[in-house]
Amino acid sequence: MAISRRDALKFTTVLAATTALPSYAEKKFEQVENKNLKKNKTKVVIVGGGWSGLSIAKNLKDFSPNTDVVLVEKNDQFISCPMSNLWLVDRVSTEFLTHDYLQAAKNYNYTFFHANATGMDKEKKVLFTSKGNIDYDYIVFAPGIDYDYSSITEDIDLENRLRKEYPAGYKAGEEHTILKNKIQNFKGGNFVMTVPSGNYRCLPAPYERACLVADYFKSKKLKAKVLLLDENNDITIKEEGFHSAFEELYGDYLEYHPNSTIETIDLDDKFIETEFKEFEFDDASFYPHVKGAKILDIVGISKDTVFNKSEGNINGITYEVLDHKDIYISGDARPMGFSKSGNTASTEGLYVAKLISDKIQGIKNTPWQSPTTLCFSAVSINPERAIFVNSMYAYNEKKKRFGFATPKTSEVWKGQEGLTNAKAQHDWAFAMYKYMFGY
């Protein structure tokens, strides 16, 4: 179903709307420990400064201004995974993806603490970090994903080589830089990319990346081909739009191979064996299965799920860790089958903030709010064209899981619709950054 750019951006327009905020005196972490905060204030600690964590911090201060909110994040600056595929091929700048945590904390009147969470004492309600301990009344873990390379190999030496030499590029940071250098310095031949099964981070992202890299190679007139090896039996989302782009735009530059689960990788002789076929490659990026970030295992609040290993062990409606109603898990580490994507995590964070605010205020039975998946995917860069999906979720009693409830899609990348979708993709990202950081 084709929908207008106005419909697509209706939600982000709401997110981008900001109001006057109270003045902020810059807080240092020592103040949290040194009793400069009122003892009778409720303190909420958020572990993880991704799309969900930032949304929770901002909205919790909106809903409950007198609550002390501390955002604990191991990175000193935010780098966006959404839009990073366009960064790989020089369509957006590093500055567009990179944002200042301290600025967000100032604008929304919470505390940013740059440290790595290392453990916790659930009974005493203390979070352990690389720079000291923080007490809390409520704590939210929004740490994102880690990779599960056991889906590819049990050999730890091979896993380390895959991580360092052939990174997936679905966690912001160094691996994106490595992948960008691979793409932009590629001289020709076969460039292998893979798609895992399960609920991996950003379902359409590997297909978008394959399109953009193929377009980049095509623009450079390289004798090169992207080999996209997919564990799934077909494209997992927006299949009509991606299939048509593969066939009509990149027939000589992209091969799509479904049902391609890797059985053997030889990084020295550079070949891959699947059940049905062997592939040679000149360079590659291997995307393994995903799981919740390791901190969930360390603090004992994870479980294996039908989708992935080590995701949050929570009530799917209240986001509370089972048997620990003062601990929450949100974002890509949660076990429900929602998309592991930026917009989904951000809207989920809005609901989690409301849950905690209501609990602080003694309000019971907060109505469940569905997250919203609004996801754009570029299919070409010359010119820039895109497709998208926009949906909320509902619980399927028969399948006993959540699924799309209101899907609207625009899978037409040709003509003005594709150009308009591409413009909307940039507008969406700008609105979301404004929402999270208060610009």
Structure pTM? 0.91
**At residue 107, what is the residue type?**
N
In a domain, 4, yes or no: no
Q: What is the mean pLDDT of residues 191-199?
A: 97
Q: Which helix (H) or strand (E) holds 75?
A: none
Q: Per-residue pLDDT tens for 260-294? A: 999 999 999 999 999 999 999 999 999 999 999 99
Whole-number Å distance between alpha carbons of 30 and 203: 41
Q: Which pLDDT tens digit goes with each residue over 324-363?
A: 999 999 999 999 999 999 999 999 999 999 999 999 999 9
- Same domain for 35 and 69: yes
Does 30 share its domain with 126? Answer: yes
Q: Which of 371, 392, 409 is the last residue of a domain?
A: 371
- Residue 223's pLDDT is 97
Residues of the chain above pLDDT 70, percent? 91
Same domain as 283, residue 320: no
Nearest to 85 by CA among 304, 401, 381: 381
Query: Which residue has better confidence, 8 or 428?
Result: 428
Same domain, yes or no: 134 and 85: yes
What's the rounded Cα separation, in Å, for the pair 245 and 229?
17
Query: The tokens 């991580």 sit on which residue?
Result: 163
Query: Is the pLDDT score of 28 beyond 60?
Result: no
Instruction: Tell me the residue length of the chain.
Output: 439
Is 74 or 32 the better-scoring residue by pLDDT?
Answer: 74
Is the pLDDT at 12 greater than 90? The verdict is no
Q: What six digits make up the tokens of 411?
A: 């899978």
| Per-chain mean pLDDT for the chain | 92
User: d(Cα 210, Cα 190) in Å, to the nearest integer?
Assistant: 12
199/91 same-domain check: no
CA–CA dist 323, 303 (Å, integer)? 14
Of 371, 386, 403, which residue constitutes the final position of a domain? 371
pLDDT digits (tens, 9 = 90+) for 94-138: 999 999 999 999 999 999 999 999 999 999 999 999 999 999 999
Residue carrying the six token digits 């903030």: 353
pLDDT tens for residues 80-104?
999 999 999 999 999 999 999 999 9
Q: How many angstroms separate the most distant Cα atoms in the chain? A: 67
Dist. CA 144–CA 411, nearest whole Å: 28
**pLDDT reported for residue 31:** 36
Task: Tell me the C-alpha distance between 108 and 53, whole Å.
Answer: 13
Q: Is residue 5 in a domain? A: no
The continuous run of DSSP H or E covering 272 comes out as: strand 271-274
Residue 103 corresponds to which amino acid? Q
User: Parallel, antiparallel, or unpaired: how do β-strands 302-303 and 311-312 relate?
Assistant: antiparallel
